[in-house]
Amino acid sequence: MQRVRKCGSTVFLEGTQVERVLAAVRTGPGRTEIREFPMPDVPEDSALMRMEVAGICGTDVKLYKTPPSNAPVIMGHENIGTIAKAGREFTRRKGFKEGDLVFVEHYVMCGKCEWCHLGQYRHCENTDWRTNPEGIRYGYTSAERAPHLWGGFAQYVYLPWNAVVHRVPKGVTPELAGLVTPMANGVEWSLFDGGVGYDSTVLIQGPGQQGLSQTVVCKQAGASLIIVTGTSKDAARMKVAKELGADHVIDVQKEDPLARIKEITSGRGVDVTLDCTAGAGTLPILLGVEALKRKGGTIVVQGEMKEFPNFPLERVTVKFITIKSARGHSYKACELALAQLASKRFPLEKVTTHSFGLKDVDLAIRSVGGQGVPDVIHASLMPWK
């Protein structure tokens, strides 16, 4: 038997040094355990990333409360880190070398399909955990699958040849870069899907990190009117919304939002509505439909509800409304989001409100869900903190 000596998280076997990687593993609904994994071998075509910041979003809150499977999972799908070890082929093919600060999309592509060639890794079958149990997605894939490090709530993350990697621009801190995912969703949903541009009028429902990112992107794109709605508990977030460029904020518990929107737009309604309420039920969709202009508006929705009794289909067709599905982000949206962060044009440090260490993953997720530390907008999980 080999003799074992332990020093911090590093375990020394007699004669060899085997490093161990600490990770927070979701072991059941609302349950987290800190576990150790072996430091993986890094083949020539792969790399290892030392985690700096894993952003926590509303999806984490949902996946933590109601996991889609019983498998142990290292969550964390919005990952910023430094390339700690890069195989020669990895550097040759992808252009990244040790020491580079990068953002890794949570989609691990097949690299062969039509969607991958379009930079739309979100639609690649290889990344779809709903239909493809073999698919790999950071923050979703079982930690039982070698080499185990498939999530950002860990000291290191494994990058195979088909990881989708972006360079973080110079001058952007890891914490600021942690906003790239909501910002990329902002670009994708409001600009590419909603068609927001110069002189657009926009209703953004929900002032969380997603709604605030949409606010910045719509402002940058030239929207002439941005209205953000929230509830009374969102007072601090609504204040940030105004600082980031919202023209009006409406507390839907204190005012009739539709009457207020009609008043602001002189009865015209808005061009585009974006639902960023993360599953607040059917009301935001109904408000969105009514708040749109007389004909030809666009509503971007998230699929949080399995059923929608009495969906106003007739109203939608009479108003000639286009419904678009919010589904993650494309490669292009990520690049534009990173450029936006690098521009420092908006005070986004008002959004990155809190950071947590690895042992506080449970508290961090609950806080983003509104039950823990108060007034969290965006939480950065820093595994080395």
Q: Identify the residue among 11, 34, 71, 110 touching Zn ion (CB under 5 A).
A: 110
Nearer to Zn ion (CB atom), residue 164 or residue 223: 164
In angstroms, what is the minimal distance from the CB of 103 to Zn ion? 13
Please answer whether residues 352 and 174 qualify as being in contact, where contact means their C-beta atoms are separated by less than 8 angstroms.
no
Q: Dihedral, CA atoms, 378, 84, 111, 67, nearest 10 degrees?
A: -40
Given phi > 0 = left and psi -120 to 50 = alpha, else beta, which region is 8?
left
- Return the bridge partners of 285, or none: none
Tokens linked to 232: 């009374």
CA 59, CA 293: separation in Å to the nearest integer? 31
Stretch that binds Zn ion, among 67-75, 112-120, 191-199, 350-358 (CB under 5 A): 112-120
In angstroms, what is the minimal distance from the CB of 68 to Zn ion? 15
Question: What is the secondary structure of 23-55 as a DSSP string?
Answer: EEEEEETTEEEEEEEEPPP--TT-EEEEEEEEE
Which residues between 28 and 87 bind Zn ion (CB under 5 A)? 57, 59
Nearer to Zn ion (CB atom), residue 116 or residue 376: 116
Q: Identify the residue among 49, 124, 238, 363 touching Zn ion (CB under 5 A).
A: 124
Question: What is the secondary structure of 227-255 as a DSSP string?
Answer: EEEE-GGGHHHHHHHHHTT-SEEEETTTS
Count of residues binding Zn ion (CB under 5 A)? Answer: 7
Nearer to Zn ion (CB atom), residue 113 or residue 286: 113
Q: Identify the residue among 11, 34, 71, 113 touching Zn ion (CB under 5 A).
A: 113
Asked if 304 touches Zn ion (CB under 5 A), the answer is no
Q: Identify the residue among 51, 80, 116, 157 touching Zn ion (CB under 5 A).
A: 116
In angstroms, what is the minimal distance from the CB of 110 to Zn ion? 3
Return phi, psi of residue 55, to 5°. -70, 145
Rule CB under 5 A: which residues touch Zn ion? Answer: 57, 59, 109-110, 113, 116, 124
